[in-house]
Amino acid sequence: MKTTYDAIVVGAGPAGSSAALTMARAGLDVALLERGAFPGEKNMFGGVLHRLTALEDVFPDFWELAPWERHIVKKNLTFMTQGSSFSVSFDNEAADTPPYNGYTVYRPKFDNWLAQEAVKAGATLLTRTTVDDVIQEQGRVVGVKLLRDGSELRAPVVIAADGVLSFTAKKAGLRQARFKPDNQGVCVKAMIDMPKEIIDDRFGLVREQGASNEIVGNTAGVRGGTFLYTNYDSLSLGMVLELGSMMGKTTTPYDLLNNFMEQPQIAKLLRGGKLLEYSAHLVPKGGYDAMPELFGDGIMVAGDAAGLCIITGLNLEGINLATQSGVLAGQATIEAHRQRDFSKSALKTYRTLLEESYVLKDLKMYRRTPNMLHNDRIYTQYPELVCGLMDEIYRIDGQPKETMTKLLLRKAKETIGLKNLLADVYSGWRAL
């Protein structure tokens, strides 16, 4: 077996395959390593892939080529309690024509497609290949050691795109040994079988239109949120739960998800559905301040491995940032080969490219958001306030009505406290 390459990419997810594709198209000899039996086998996410501008440069007709389920035209935000929910729905005709703003996808299909595109461009895909260690010589990464037989693959550049826990980055000394539980969310998801026509009717969709729904509340006080997405003929229902918030409680992720499925407004949407698959994964939610070192001598870190994730409550971004970072790591490698310099100072190009792109600009802009979301009131009291307000506004019970201002002040005092409310509005304003 060939053991020397121009570059080694660890992980054939969106970041790794984008990097491999970029480098292979420029004529570099690339090994793309994947621990699964096929790319995507180990990968899981909520279900909505945002528009991948980084890939549209390579595939101008991306939506004709990539395997997706539905394109998102309708975005819903819901505040939910155990018995009620208040939603804001944005249905957008402009999102119904290409370039689509987002898609629901199945990762085992999508990731495999992208990896095969890298192969078509000339990359060598090695599946069932778990990396055990990085090889370092004189403080410089020069390859990786494989778990199956301890054999070695060598290249002047290694791109660590091995996902949220990135043992490759850890072994190269780029990430800290311990993760803060507050910076990680566990995502659990149920895939639910449902005929296309029923999904169309229940969610108000036609053709291949899709809907996404982000839900705040009804998580038993755990900091986190729930999502419900429409695939072609299935639904994705899942929760992201902050581990720091789960610790010390007795409830489990699957109990919370089961409880959620029984909430009356959710139960109506899921009625008749059948559980197809249950999955779980971590989400790096610490943002800009929780990122590892992004580059070192002979190594760069991309995608989830680099903690490139933005969670604002309204948007959950990851794969778009991953593909962009993969493309840029690929470009930095191409440049390094041109200069024949793979040192840390040469690979700093990668960080510069990331800073010039929306990736680090957005992560920086939202660097206060993780802290803002570390507020228990968001997950219980605010949904109760919103739903409680609506309940009193609509309620006809033979009692004289209060003015809207009086009602708002009274409810806010009851559920949140005015001081807290002002502090939260201020921190929300600064964070978003």
From the list 102, 116, 317, the residue with the least C-alpha distance to 231 is 102
Residue whose CB is less far from another protein, 40 or 102: 40
Going by C-beta distance under 8 Å and a sequence separation of 6 or more, which residues neighbour residue 393? Answer: 404, 407
Smallest distance, another protein to C-beta of residue 279, A: 4
Smallest distance, another protein to C-beta of residue 38, A: 9
Q: Which of residues 9-68 bind another protein (CB under 8 A)?
A: 35-37, 40-44
Residue whose CB is less far from another protein, 235 or 336: 235
Give the span between the Cα atoms of 73 and 83, in whole angstroms: 27
Binding test (CB under 8 A) with another protein, winner from 53, 82, 116, 127:
127
Applying CB under 8 A, what is the total number of residues that bind another protein?
57
Residue whose CB is less far from another protein, 124 or 130: 130
345 in contact with another protein (CB under 8 A): no
From the list 178, 182, 256, the residue with the least C-alpha distance to 217 is 256
Smallest distance, another protein to C-beta of residue 70, A: 14
| Coil/strand/helix, residue 22 | helix
124 in contact with another protein (CB under 8 A): no
Our separate counts of H helices and E strands in the chain read 16, 20
Q: Is 384 exposed, middle or buried (0-12, 13-18, 19+ CB in 10 A)?
A: buried
Give the span between the Cα atoms of 38 and 13, in whole angstroms: 10
Q: Which of residues 307-326 bind another protein (CB under 8 A)?
A: none
Residue whose CB is less far from another protein, 63 or 179: 179
Residue whose CB is less far from another protein, 135 or 186: 186
Residue whose CB is less far from another protein, 151 or 339: 151
Q: What tokens were used for 327?
A: 């493309």
Beta strands in 199-273 (DSSP E): 209-216, 224-230, 234-242
From the list 66, 170, 56, the residue with the least C-alpha distance to 116 is 66
Binding segment for another protein (CB under 8 A), chosen from 82-90, 124-132, 205-213, 406-414, is 124-132
108 in contact with another protein (CB under 8 A): yes
73 to 92: interface string for another protein, x by CB under 8 A: --------------------
Binding test (CB under 8 A) with another protein, winner from 252, 356, 393, 426:
252
Q: What tokens were used for 126?
A: 């090695």
CB of 234 within 8 A of CB of 276? yes
Residue whose CB is less far from another protein, 42 or 70: 42
184 in contact with another protein (CB under 8 A): yes
Q: Is 123 exposed, middle or buried (0-12, 13-18, 19+ CB in 10 A)?
A: buried
358 in contact with another protein (CB under 8 A): no
Q: Look up residue 4 and give its DSSP letter.
A: B
Residue whose CB is less far from another protein, 230 or 381: 230
Q: Is 330 exposed, middle or buried (0-12, 13-18, 19+ CB in 10 A)?
A: buried
Binding test (CB under 8 A) with another protein, winner from 13, 102, 225, 253:
253
Q: What angle do CA 9, 10, 16 make, to 5 degrees?
A: 60
106 in contact with another protein (CB under 8 A): yes
Binding test (CB under 8 A) with another protein, winner from 77, 261, 409, 423:
261
Pairing outcome for strands 234-242 and 224-230: antiparallel
Binding segment for another protein (CB under 8 A), chosen from 13-21, 179-187, 339-347, 408-416, is 179-187
CB of 67 within 8 A of CB of 49? no
CB of 105 within 8 A of CB of 12? no
263 in contact with another protein (CB under 8 A): no
Q: Is 409 exposed, middle or buried (0-12, 13-18, 19+ CB in 10 A)?
A: middle
CB of 240 within 8 A of CB of 46? yes
264 to 303: interface string for another protein, x by CB under 8 A: ------x--xxxxxxxxxx---------------------
Binding test (CB under 8 A) with another protein, winner from 186, 198, 408, 423:
186
Q: Which of residues 220-239 bind another protein (CB under 8 A)?
A: 234, 236
Residues in contact with another protein by CB under 8 A are 35-37, 40-44, 106-109, 127-130, 132, 147-148, 164-165, 167, 179, 181, 184, 186, 188-192, 234, 236, 243, 246-254, 257-258, 261, 270, 273-282
